[in-house]
Amino acid sequence: MADKDLYPAIEPYDSGFLKLDSLHEMYYEQSGNPIGVPVVFLHGGPGAGANSTHRRFFDPAHYRIVIFDQRGAGRSRPLGDVRDNTTPLLIEDIEKLRRHLGIENWFVFGGSWGSTLALAYAEFHPEQVRGLALRGIFLCRKSEIDWFLYGMKELAPEAWRKFASHIPAAERDDLLTAYHSRLMNPDPAIHMPAARAWSIYEGSCSTLLPSPETVSAFSADVLALGLARMEAHYFRNNIFLPDNYLLENVGRIRHIPAFIVQGRYDLVCPIRTADDLVQAWPEARYHIVPDAGHSAMEPGIRKHLVAGMDRFRERG
């Protein structure tokens, strides 16, 4: 994959685990400029975790780059644990990390589920947000969850067939319940095959053109288990917020500088959702990438995300 649009690879200057409660510990890291302008990266999923490439969206000479794995995801411990795992708790985790690092306010950058969490965090804590960078908008409405579970078969029938075929035909009318029961089973012989099937399905639909590298990454055990288990958990619980909460409360954040990047052919989070958000938030800068799907690594999406964060440099 060409990555010329990204900043050079860097290593963290600080990393550690933040105790969240009696069960969860959250991995976090800082890179870039220790006295720079803070930006926090919110990964997708929920449950996907962050990786070293995510540091590269930001100018390391300007930004103090904060990356963390949400509870139950990636390097946070315990992996894939849905106990005490809700959107309000994730929002409080971000605040706990901000206070722990002594940061007054920061830019918030998130794609896919990261855009969901970024919007929720900003609506709860607008005074802590300098600006929002959002990609592949997901508001977790019932129509969007139904699209993920069933609608994508209209454009990706092969991927959907593999996804659905993991579940016996008699249970396919409610794929979410069927997958949830398997993903929560304590036996790895049951939950890991289900996790891989779910995660590979999402990975297969994340890029405009087929990407074996993306599918391979989504099939890895840590990503697959965190992603599939957390997504099923949050989808079944409507992300633990009232219906349409994020869109109905966008008035709380319309004063915050923001840009939105959306792939025209995003299968996972179709453009209709981004359009709904922009109609409610006309002040946000909106970029439709005409030759891109869902992934942040799509060339056009990657380019616009970096450019948007470069523009934010002018705001200090």
Q: Which residues are catalytic?
A: 112, 266, 294
Q: What is the CA radius of gyration of the chain?
A: 18
Neighbours of 287 (CB within 10 A): 18
Q: Which two tokens stand for residue 191?
A: 């939950």
Q: Where is 202: in which H helix or E strand?
A: helix 188-204
The residue with tokens 């590269």 is: 56
Distance CA 316, CA 21 (A): 34
DSSP state of 37: E
| AA letter at 203 | G
Query: DSSP characters for 41-57?
Result: EE-STTTT---GGGGGG
Torsion angle, alpha carbons of 177, 140, 30, 49, to 10: 30
